[in-house]
Amino acid sequence: MATYLPEGYRTQCASAANFHTIASVRDAMLSRQILESRALVCDAGHNLIVDLGCMKGMIPREECAIGIREGTTRDIAILSKVNKPVCFRITDVRSDEKFRPYALLSRREVQEECRSHYLSTLKAGDIIRGKITHMESFGCFVDIGCGVIALLPIDAISVSRISHPRDRFFTGQNIYCIVRSVEPNGRISLSHKELLGTWEENAALFAPGETVGGIVRSVESYGVFIELTPNLAGLAECKEGVKVGQHASVFIKSLIPERMKVKLILVDSFDSDEPPAPLSYYIKEGHLDRFIYSPAMSSRTIETVFESSETIPAVACSAGIGQHT
């Protein structure tokens, strides 16, 4: 829902807070508009200070995030917002002891509204926007609306196996994701790989006889797995000196849809510090009850079912790219 976007989406549009007069600030307060601005400072009392243009705004500590008042959210969640966009609603306009006007703001109020009006309506299979806020080895944390965070596990990022989410994303990146499950307590878990295309859609980008670029994702005793796209990888024979994470040039020997195999010859591998390539999404909106990765003629069916709270993994790490013969 466009009203409850991840933080950072509004700073370049009309809903960014850049007021020229006190009257315009009061109008925004009366209209209960959701605004966004960059947090300039976190003061000694852990209040966030933002720039509204004609005046400063203050988000009191307990209004900085859901859970601060109750003690279930740590103050590091406030400190970490400095120099980043934050959403809020203007709740009052006051003057300090020097008669300088300033605005009182609430981020917590916006987050609570986002939860009750938007996030509570989501179902498994809904496709939504998100923004990467933080990455760990087990997955990444994604802002799915007004700074409310959901987890995207590493095994749900792509079909091709990666060792860390930074192999696919960068912090602050806008992505699309799909609701994997909604727990009874309202906590949302995400997936991503179902939006990056089926085996056939990805294989259609390549043809036998071509030499193309790839990334080494795994080095095993029986071969080297090389990613051609996030949802397609193939196997090449082992070659001395090849390391995980290297870029590669590969010759495509064959594409075998019945077995979901891509047979490759490794021409060269080399170190590179290039950032992750931009993602190509095959689906960006709507709802999926089921995603079938495997081709119709394949002997195996690999799918994700979103019809219940218990989700079948779309592709086990070995399913789309392993067990080559």
Domain of 105, CATH number, reads 2.40.50.140
Contact, 290 vs 307, CB < 8 A?
Answer: yes
User: Domain range for residue 67?
Assistant: 2-115
Q: 205 and 103: one domain?
A: no
Residue 193 counted as domain residue: no
Final residue of a structural domain among 115, 149, 165: 115
Residue 123 counted as domain residue: no
Give the C-alpha distances (Å, rounded to integers) separating 186 from 130, 144, 182, 190: 17, 13, 6, 13
* pLDDT in the model for residue 29: 95
Residue 187 counted as domain residue: no
Helix (H) or strand (E) holding 122: none
* pLDDT in the model for residue 100: 87
Residue 79 counted as domain residue: yes
pTM: 0.89
- Taking only the tens place, the pLDDT of each residue in 107-164 is 999 999 999 999 999 999 999 999 999 999 999 999 999 999 999 999 999 999 999 9
* pLDDT in the model for residue 85: 94
Tell me the mean pLDDT in the region 245-253.
Answer: 97
* pLDDT in the model for residue 322: 34
* pLDDT in the model for residue 324: 31
Residue 106 counted as domain residue: yes
Residue 101 counted as domain residue: yes
Give the C-alpha distances (Å, rounded to integers) separating 102 from 38, 44, 80, 195: 16, 18, 23, 44
> What's the domain count of the chain?
2
Bridge-partner residues for 132, per DSSP? 142
Contact, 188 vs 128, CB < 8 A?
Answer: no
Give the C-alpha distances (Å, rounded to integers) separating 95 from 22, 91, 171: 11, 14, 38
Bridge-partner residues for 325, per DSSP? none
Q: Which residues contact 270 (CB under 8 A, 6 or more apart)?
A: 246, 247, 248
Band of pLDDT at residue 185, cut at 50, 70 and 90: confident
Q: Which residues contact 201 (CB under 8 A, 6 or more apart)?
A: 282
Helix (H) or strand (E) holding 111: helix 108-117
Residues 165 and 175: their CA atoms lie apart, in Å, by 13
Band of pLDDT at residue 41, cut at 50, 70 and 90: very high
Among residues 90, 114, 70, 120, the alpha carbon closest in space to that of 22 is found at 90
Q: Tally DSSP H helices, then E strands, for the chain.
A: 4, 17
- Percentage of the chain beyond pLDDT 90 is 84
Contact, 313 vs 225, CB < 8 A?
Answer: no
Give the C-alpha distances (Å, rounded to integers) separating 26 from 22, 38, 100, 195: 6, 20, 15, 42
The mean pLDDT value of the chain amounts to: 91
- Taking only the tens place, the pLDDT of each residue in 55-103 is 999 999 999 999 999 999 999 999 999 999 999 999 999 987 766 899 9
Final residue of a structural domain among 70, 89, 115: 115
Residue 51 counted as domain residue: yes
Residues 40 and 18: their CA atoms lie apart, in Å, by 14
Residue 130 corresponds to which tokens in the numbers above?
């998100």
* pLDDT in the model for residue 317: 28
* pLDDT in the model for residue 325: 27
* pLDDT in the model for residue 316: 31
* pLDDT in the model for residue 2: 76
Q: Which of 86-100, 236-250, 274-288 has the lowest mean pLDDT?
A: 86-100
Final residue of a structural domain among 95, 115, 135: 115
Residues 103 and 21: their CA atoms lie apart, in Å, by 12
Residue 296 counted as domain residue: no
- The stretches of the chain forming alpha helices (DSSP H) are 22-30, 76-79, 108-117, 199-203
Paired sense of beta strands 127-136 and 174-182, if any: antiparallel
Residues 276 and 268: their CA atoms lie apart, in Å, by 20
Q: Which residues contact 182 (CB under 8 A, 6 or more apart)?
A: 122, 123, 124, 188, 189, 309
Token look-up 């609430």 returns 106
